[in-house]
């Protein structure tokens, strides 16, 4: 087992990474004995890996209630929040109860948000089961749900008590879900670590083959990069914005299609290409580096072409509502080279249009 610590002023915690973690003694430490637990998952995982976690918690002597959501980004909404809150009240959960989120980003974000508002805040633990959630969504305390007009527009910062990353759960994923997570992995490398990007170019096959040693290094490196950013900017005042490479464009795609048909990582993949293309148009990023990024995304079988059915003008209403914006002006995180990104304010709309058009015609 590998450990990454998220250092925060008021709520530091551990990320535990490894294979066969549920054979370790009390992996849930420092969970206090006697507390009630609500295990939250989705209908797919309910039949795949819930029993492993449930049996482990019961063996430790905890009282465990369960709540199962349908599977899909479209259920990450306020109606689902109300359903889980109602279940907590019906089962008489109090301020000492703990929510355990077993799932990908949807379950983690939704459960964390409910934990932040139930009786003004209770503890929760993340057990991410997708690569995307293991390297990104489960870490850092961003919780929330979607609105029809924008992704993650309703939420809060609420840090988990711990994050438990069991690598074996990745073997349950369909290929497109594994690839979706790799878009976030590649995002980290482009944004902060050229050496990591080069490692990915050389070792991508090992990750796709679910080689445990390669997965351990890859996931731990992403956790280290995010933990460092979050430790220095927990509530996204400045530095943490840099984690959003490709997301302004990508969230527009997700929102336009009402969170159906495009996985988060797939839309971020296209968003990364758009961000790199924007940077190239501005004379910041070299064409050679843009092509390296596109080549790596293609090797993951991730989309690099924008959806043809989405017109250029359709991007702007969503981009103008993006949480990173200042006073209505679009802010973009753009790479200036592989391993380094910067925040750019008020990019000319013609430049954005040109970048989108280029990516539509790839």
SS3 for 258-283 is CCCCCCHHHHHHHHHHHHHHHHHHCC
Q: How many CB atoms lie within 10 A of CB 204?
A: 18
Residue 199: burial class (beta carbons within 10 Å; 0-12, 13-18, 19+): middle
**Active-site residue set:** 120, 142, 184, 226, 236, 240, 244, 247, 251, 264
Place of tokens 């009240």: 89
**What tokens does 362 get?**
């790839």
β pairing state of 98-103 and 13-18 = unpaired
**CA 111 to CA 216: how far, in whole Å?**
26
**CA 239 to CA 249: how far, in whole Å?**
19
- How many Cα neighbours within 13 Å face the side chain of 45? 30
- How many Cα neighbours within 13 Å face the side chain of 37? 25
| Size of the chain, expressed as the number of residues it contains | 362
| Residue 197 contacts residue 49 (beta carbons within 8 Å) | no
Tell me how many degrees the CA angle 317-318-320 measures, rounded to the nearest 5: 65
β pairing state of 2-6 and 13-18 = antiparallel
SS3 for 28-79 is CCCCCCCCEEEEEEEHHHHCCCHHHHHHHHHHCCCEEEEEEECCCHHHCCHH
């Amino acid at each position: 087992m590998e450990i990454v610590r998220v250092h925060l002023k008021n709520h530091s915690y551990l990320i535990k990474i490894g294979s066969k973690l549920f054979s370790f003694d009390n992996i849930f430490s420092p969970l206090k004995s006697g507390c009630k637990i609500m295990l939250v998952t989705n209908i797919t995982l309910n039949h795949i890996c819930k029993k492993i976690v449930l049996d482990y918690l019961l063996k430790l002597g905890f009282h465990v209630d369960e709540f199962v959501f349908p599977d899909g980004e479209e259920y990450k909404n306020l109606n689902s929040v109300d359903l889980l809150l109602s279940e907590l009240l019906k089962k008489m959960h109090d301020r000492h109860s703990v929510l355990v989120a077993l799932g990908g980003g949807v379950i983690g974000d939704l459960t964390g948000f409910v934990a932040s508002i139930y009786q003004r805040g209770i503890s929760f633990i993340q057990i991410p089961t997708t690569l995307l959630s293991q390297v990104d969504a489960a870490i850092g305390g961003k919780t929330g749900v979607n609105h029809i007009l924008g992704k993650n527009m309703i939420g809060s910062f609420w840090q988990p008590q711990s994050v438990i990353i069991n690598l074996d759960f990745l073997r349950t994923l369909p290929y497109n879900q594994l690839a979706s997570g790799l878009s976030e992995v590649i995002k980290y490398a482009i944004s902060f670590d050229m050496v990591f990007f080069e490692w990915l170019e050389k070792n991508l096959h090992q990750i796709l083959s679910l080689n445990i040693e390669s997965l351990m290094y890859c996931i731990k490196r992403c956790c280290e990069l995010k933990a460092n950013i979050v430790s220095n900017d927990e509530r996204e005042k400045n530095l943490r914005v840099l984690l959003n490479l490709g997301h302004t464009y990508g969230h527009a795609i997700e929102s336009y299609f009402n969170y159906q048909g495009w996985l988060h990582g797939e839309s971020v993949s296209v968003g990364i290409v758009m961000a790199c293309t924007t940077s190239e148009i501005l004379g910041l990023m070299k064409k050679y580096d843009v092509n390296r990024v596109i080549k790596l995304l293609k090797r993951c079988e991730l989309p690099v072409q924008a959806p043809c059915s989405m017109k250029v003008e359709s991007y702007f209403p969503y981009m103008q509502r993006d949480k990173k914006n200042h006073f209505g002006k679009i802010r973009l995180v753009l790479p200036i080279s592989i391993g380094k990104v910067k925040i750019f304010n008020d990019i000319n709309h013609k430049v954005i249009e040109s970048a989108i058009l280029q990516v539509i015609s790839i």
